[in-house]
């Protein structure tokens, strides 16, 4: 019997959803929900024919970063995954207010999406401030595990980029160790500023401004390469 992977995220809902956002689940969500087949692969090309690139953001929080990148890159398909219902509601509001046509959402575990994506189908993967599970006994619930890192390498195109950002020192070290050990990933860092200074296209969100971790944000950027 195959058991589902341990949850890599915490709560899926907090405060009541505002009426306007709740209404968007009925009116907008059906149009932007990512179809994830029970078997087989996602037909990425059918989601946005002619898309110049395909990006995936895992754990988009309130959707601020996802919406900002979608607005900056209207010719790119932006896939966002987030199990936290309040975050999905917020993302729907951003999509509606900005009239974004290039976003697709998955309101559940991102690992199901990655498993269903074809090989070499993504140009970028963004993982920003995932749940740190900072207690040692909970580390096994962290999103970045060796098996998932291999899957991320599989779905990225050669030359594609993976960005991992955290404000927990231990998780940064954990992720770095496992991603460096993943065949096909090369860490793009030569000096300290490469992981301590935000990339030029980074979007600061309200979550980041809260400074809930034990360090300033650490930015780990990797490139998918064939050897």
Read off the pLDDT of residues 41-80 as tens digits, 9 standing for 90 and up: 999 999 999 999 999 999 999 999 999 999 999 999 999 9
Class of residue 187 by CB neighbours under 10 A (exposed 0-12, middle 13-18, buried 19+) = middle
Which of the residues are catalytic? Answer: 131
Residues 106-120 pLDDT 10s: 999 999 999 999 999
In a domain, 121, yes or no: yes
Residues 207-223 pLDDT 10s: 899 888 999 999 999 99
In a domain, 1, yes or no: no
In a domain, 95, yes or no: yes
In a domain, 81, yes or no: yes
- pTM for the model: 0.91
The count of structural domains within the chain is 1
Residue 1 pLDDT class (50, 70, 90 cuts): very low
* CATH at residue 202: 3.40.50.150
In a domain, 9, yes or no: no
Question: Checking phi first, is residue 93 left (phi over 0); if not, alpha (psi -120 to 50) or beta?
Answer: alpha
Average pLDDT over residues 77-105: 96
User: Helix (H, G, I), strand (E, B), or coil: what is residue 77?
Assistant: strand
Give the residue numbers spanning the domain of 160.
Answer: 19-224
Average pLDDT, the chain: 92
pLDDT recorded at residue 222: 98
What b/e string do you get for 16-51 counting C-beta neighbours within 10 Å, with b at 16 or more?
ebeeebeebbeebbeebebeeeeeeebebeeebeeb
**Max Cα-Cα span within the chain:** 52
Given a cut of 80, is residue 133 above it in pLDDT?
no
In a domain, 30, yes or no: yes
């Amino acid at each position: 019997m195959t058991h589902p992977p341990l949850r890599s995220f915490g709560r899926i809902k907090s405060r009541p959803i505002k009426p306007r956002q709740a209404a968007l689940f009925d009116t907008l969500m059906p149009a932007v929900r990512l179809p994830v087949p029970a078997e087989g692969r996602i037909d990425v090309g059918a989601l946005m024919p002619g898309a110049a690139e395909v990006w995936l953001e895992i754990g988009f929080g309130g959707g601020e970063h996802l919406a900002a990148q979608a607005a900056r890159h209207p010719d790119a398909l932006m896939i966002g995954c987030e199990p936290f219902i309040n975050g999905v509601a917020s993302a729907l509001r951003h999509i509606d207010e900005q009239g974004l046509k290039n976003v697709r959402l998955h309101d559940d575990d991102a690992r199901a999406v990655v498993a269903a994506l074809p090989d070499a189908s993504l140009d970028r993967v963004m993982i920003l401030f995932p749940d740190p599970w900072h207690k040692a006994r909970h580390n096994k619930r962290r999103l970045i595990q060796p098996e998932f890192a291999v899957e991320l390498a599989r779905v990225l195109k050669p030359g594609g980029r993976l960005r991992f950002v955290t404000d927990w020192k231990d998780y940064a070290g954990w992720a770095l160790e496992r991603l460096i050990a993943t065949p096909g990933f090369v860490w793009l860092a030569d000096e300290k500023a490469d992981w301590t200074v935000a990339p030029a296209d980074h979007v600061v969100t309200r979550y980041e401004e809260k400074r809930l971790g034990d360090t300033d944000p650490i930015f780990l950027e990797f490139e998918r390469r064939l050897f």
